[in-house]
Chains A and B, each alone.
Chain A
Amino acid sequence: MSALATAPNTLVSVQDVSVWYGAHEALSHASLELRAGELSAIIGPNGAGKSTLLKALLGLVPVSSGTIVFAPALGRPQDALAYVPQQQTLDWAFPVTVWDTAMMGRTARLGWGKWPRRADKEMVSEALHQAGVYDLRHRHIGALSGGQRQRVLLARMLARNAPTLLLDEPLTGVDVNSQERILELLRVQAGQGRAVVMVTHDLDSAATFDQLILINRSVVACGKPAEVYTPDNIAATFRTSHLGSTHARA
């Protein structure tokens, strides 16, 4: 709680969090903060605990030790976070349209047995416009390109209207044009006072973010890109990974 008292714009504070899967420690003593108005990148090799960190934030895996503290103003944690999963984890042949998918962002807020009201429809329209896929709203999601699919997921995230946005590799499988639009959209969200954090392999674009979180089982370094992007930190982050040489290029 002390971290929150000293930094009033901190929305989520991860304090010395470890996650164990049986005898395997997937995340070890991680500490970091997600602040309002900041765009952060989580960077690390495969198996470094990035997904585990996101799952711990979402409350999908139990924290073995340490705590995750949400700013009291955020209310329930499940309303405080909106999540965008990796595109490949979803079934794109599922019989839903772009509109249906974005409307899923309103499901939890609406409650059981309630149908979307005008305010919900307006929010979904606005979200689709912001993501640049409003004109595709009647299309089946299977008929979209990778970049369009990602932007539909962003629209669903925007429709949640949550103060903290978590995205798992939103730039993967996406054309350069869509990547630019996605980054622009996320910067706007951060500019509106949200905390935005994404897992990414794109070190070049991450260098322009407000905060970098380098992870390799634990947090190797965390701070502004200029401070964090040192050869030592990058070596320590990608040390155990066979992907290290290609990703540490930047």
Chain B
Amino acid sequence: MPAPELLITLLEPFQDATFRQLFMQALLGVTLVSVLCALVGSWVVLRGLSYIGDAMSHAVLPGIVGAFLLGGNLLVGALVAAVLTALGIGAVGQRSGLKQDSAIGIVFVGMFALGLVMLSRAPTYTSDLANFLIGNPMGVTTTDLWSTLAVTVVVGGLLLFIQKELLLVSFDPTEAQAVGLPVRRLNNLLLVLIGLVVVMTVQLVGTTLSVSLLITSAATARMRARSLPRMMLSAALIGTLCGGLGLYLSYFLNTAPGPTIVLVNTLTFLAVLPFRIKE
């Protein structure tokens, strides 16, 4: 009977209690982060801020590394780095007269290099580096889960509070400015939120890949969604399913789980692409 044999093979890893525990924690982490990424990432996709999202995800590295080396809170460290980066991009852009993309490029690569330099002083450089750059979902702790839940609730509440303003700024920035909404401040807030989300994804997929979780499932959802709530809901579901599948596949393929999750997300996007709703 091939069917039960297949089932036994597929369920085999769950025989091991330790693996089961780690896998479930990782899955919970992926689910929470998927919800968080759906909430923030949908706005990033709609506002066309993906490039800045990528920049922010690299730029928070020195904050995370600094907090790690000093034994402080990684979240606080990353937030400081995110705020400094947002301010730095603005300042470099204004003083140099360069276009925004060059200012972003200079600041984010500089911040990223600073993080690497700081980390290279640590005795466990290589393993730490791998952890920060590509993450390790199987290493998610209960503390990680609680802090992700807290951040998701706070960010979700905040986004709900400013939802209609963000909607107008995203759909029609000229009108938003004309009716007196603080367009620039809303954009800066979004930058800080991106920084926050990146921190929450670091444990799962590391800083280099975190932009994928932030935008890919939201972009996939956008191909089919007709309203914002549906887009966010679909993005959360897609992120969770891709995350679970990626985790599971990485066990069988014996691959790094973080990048495997990212690849499943990318392939899902490509699979949905031909079915985009056209006007």
Contacts and interface: CB of A to CB of B under 8 A. Distances in A.
A142 B170 CA distance: 16
A95 B230 contact: yes
Contacts of A78: 178-180
A71 interface: no
Interface in B139-186: 161-162, 164-165, 167-168, 170-172, 174-175, 177-181
Given A59-B178, A78-B178, A97-B227, A104 B171 contact: yes
Interface stretch (A83-91, A173-181, A192-200, A214-222): A83-91
B70 interface: no
Given A95-B231, A96-B228, A143 B279 contact: yes
B271 to A, nearest CB: 20
A59 B177 CA distance: 9
Nearest to A156: B175
A95 B225 contact: yes
A79 B179 CA distance: 7
Interface string A137-161: 0001011000000000000000010
B221 to A, nearest CB: 9
Contact of A92 (B179, B181, B231, B279): B279
B222 interface: yes
Given A100-B167, A107-B164, A140 B174 contact: no
Interface string A64-82: 0000000000001011010
Contacts of B228: 95-96, 100
Contacts of B170: 94
Contacts of B227: 95-97, 100, 140
Contacts of A91: 171
Interface in B205-246: 222, 225-228, 230-231
A117 B60 CA distance: 41
Nearest to A109: B179
A81 B175 CA distance: 10
Contacts, number: 76
A76 B279 CA distance: 38
Nearest to B175: A83
B114 interface: no
A104 B172 contact: yes
Contact of A60 (B177, B222, B278): B177
A60 B178 contact: yes
Interface in A176-224: none
Q: How large is the interface on A (under 10, 10 to 19, 20 to 34, 35 or more residues)?
A: 20 to 34
Interface in A27-83: 58-60, 76, 78-79, 81, 83
B16 to A, nearest CB: 43
A108 interface: yes
Among B161, B164, B165, residue most surrounded by chain A Cβ atoms (within 10 Å): B164
Contacts of A107: 164-165, 167-168, 179, 181
A96 B162 contact: no
A110 interface: yes
B222 A95 contact: yes
Given A78-B178, A95-B231, A112 B226 contact: no
Contacts of A103: 164
Contacts of B180: 76, 78, 108
A104 B175 contact: yes
A100 B167 CA distance: 9
Contacts of A81: 178
A170 to B, nearest CB: 14
B46 interface: yes
Given A94-B170, A97-B227, A104-B168, A142 B175 contact: no
A85 B172 CA distance: 9
Contact of A108 (B162, B171, B181, B279): B181
Interface string A107-147: 11010110000000000000000000000000010110000
B184 to A, nearest CB: 13
B54 to A, nearest CB: 21
Contacts of B278: 142
Among A90, A92, A100, residue most surrounded by chain B Cβ atoms (within 10 Å): A100
A56 to B, nearest CB: 12
Given A76-B180, A78-B179, A110 B279 contact: no
Given A81-B178, A100-B228, 4 more contacts: A60-B177, A78-B179, A78-B180, A104-B172
14 contacts: A60-B178, A76-B180, A78-B179, A79-B179, A81-B178, A83-B178, A91-B171, A95-B231, A96-B228, A97-B226, A104-B167, A107-B164, A107-B179, A160-B179
The 6 closest A-B pairs by CB, nearest first: A142-B279, A108-B179, A140-B226, A78-B180, A58-B178, A113-B161
Interface of B: 46, 161-162, 164-165, 167-168, 170-172, 174-175, 177-181, 222, 225-228, 230-231, 277-279
